[in-house]
Amino acid sequence: MKKIIITVIVILAALGAIAFVLTNNKKENEAKIAVVAEKNATVSVRIDTVKTEEITLDFVSNGNFEPVQELKFSAEKSGKITKILVKEGDYVSVGQTLAVVRSDIVNVSAQNANAVYQNAVNDYSRFENAFKTGGVTKQQLDQAKLAMVNAKSQLTQANINVGDTRIKAPISGYINAKYVEVGSIISATPATQLFDIVNVSKLKLKVNVSESQVASLKVGSKINVTASVYPDETFSGKITFIAAKADERLNFPVEIEISNNASAALKAGMYGTAEFASNQQKRSLKVVPRNAFVGSVSSNQIFVLENGTAKLKKVTAGRIIGDKVEILDGLNDGENVIVTGQINLQDGTKVEVIK
């Protein structure tokens, strides 16, 4: 009996010790969790300072050069290619013969049409002389004239068909691609693709500008343009088109026409930069980095650092100047704005500034 009592006492003591240890561990874990939770509630951010700077209103915009004329043309008549007179890379003038289609049957038809026409002319001449002496009636003379007119029309069409056996360049430019060879059978239906011609004597540079930038632009204005492959050379261009409507990103497409140099150094597809010079001198503007805005500049919302927390402020944005945005109202010089980490922030969130 005494042994049983001792055993029970030992078990109870052991259980008490285990309970004491578990209780202490639970308190320690809860304390650690509280520390981690508090730490996780703090969002790491980077900041920048609102300041007034001397800003130039000049700006640049990038795009790709495109040919002022580009034509992919196809066969209008069916036949067999017997000659090709150009190769890829050749410069051709408008009206120049590029290829010849087999013309045996067409030439015979033209000769027959010419013979019929000459015969009709002779018949009309005889009927006209006979009518003067009363040998034929007015109706017979009119029929002879009608036959001559119809023969003339058929001869004209036959000569057109002869001309169609010579495939001619519809525009001046460089042969950028050739799709047929000697012996190729071409068809008008479906149309066989023949050549691509690209005119790069002039090019157009397509760029996009913001709503604050487009207001100062005018069609016809002179613009300096550079190409990435010719950094030391400047090309003169002029604005030929300004979109009347912004795209889905609130940018306005602008086209600038550039005259190529004598060696046609600029190629379609090259990367170019348009330099838009402002007529205004440098101005003192209150600015913040563009990435300080929540979402986009159009949101007009910025997080400001106040006493270790993120404070969401409503501002009035002005012009976008490169990677900076003019602030018209809502911020003061010296305030710290949050430029990274906004996606994890709400008004009043505690923040930790990363140096």
Q: Residue 299 maps to which CATH number? A: 2.40.420.20
The count of structural domains within the chain is 3
Domain residues for 243?
59-67+199-276
Can you state the angle between helices 138-164 and 104-132, rounded to 10 degrees? 160
Residues 48 and 63 occupy one common structural domain:
no
Residues 63 and 207 occupy one common structural domain:
yes
Final residue in a domain of this structure, among 276, 300, 315: 276
Structural contact between residues 226 and 234, judged by C-beta atoms closer than 8 angstroms: yes
Average of pLDDT values for 340-347?
88
Residues 224 and 203 occupy one common structural domain:
yes
Q: Is residue 312 domain-resident?
A: yes
Render pLDDT for 116-160 as a digit per residue (tens, 0 to 9).
Answer: 888 888 888 888 888 888 888 888 888 888 888 888 888 777 666
What does the pLDDT read at residue 38? 47
Residues 156 and 110 occupy one common structural domain:
yes
For 304, phi and psi rounded to 5 degrees?
A: -115, 140
Judged by average pLDDT, the poorest of 188-192, 265-269, 300-304 is 188-192
Confidence band, pLDDT 50/70/90 cuts, at residue 239: very high
What integer best gives the mean pLDDT of the chain? 83
Render pLDDT for 51-108 as a digit per residue (tens, 0 to 9).
Answer: 988 877 778 889 999 998 899 988 877 778 889 999 999 999 999 999 988 765 555 6
Residues 113 and 152 occupy one common structural domain:
yes
Beta bridge partner(s), residue 222: 238
Amino acid identity of 245?
K
Residues 124 and 154 occupy one common structural domain:
yes
Q: What is the CATH number of the domain that holds 235?
A: 2.40.30.170
Q: Which residue has the higher pLDDT, 54 or 302?
A: 302
What does the pLDDT read at residue 273? 92
Q: What is the CATH number of the domain that holds 158?
A: 1.10.287.470
CA 182 to CA 188: how far, in whole Å?
A: 17
Residues 269 and 310 occupy one common structural domain:
no
pTM reported for the whole predicted model: 0.54
Q: Is residue 192 domain-resident?
A: no
Q: Is residue 94 domain-resident?
A: no
Q: Which residue has the higher pLDDT, 170 or 187?
A: 170
What does the pLDDT read at residue 126? 85
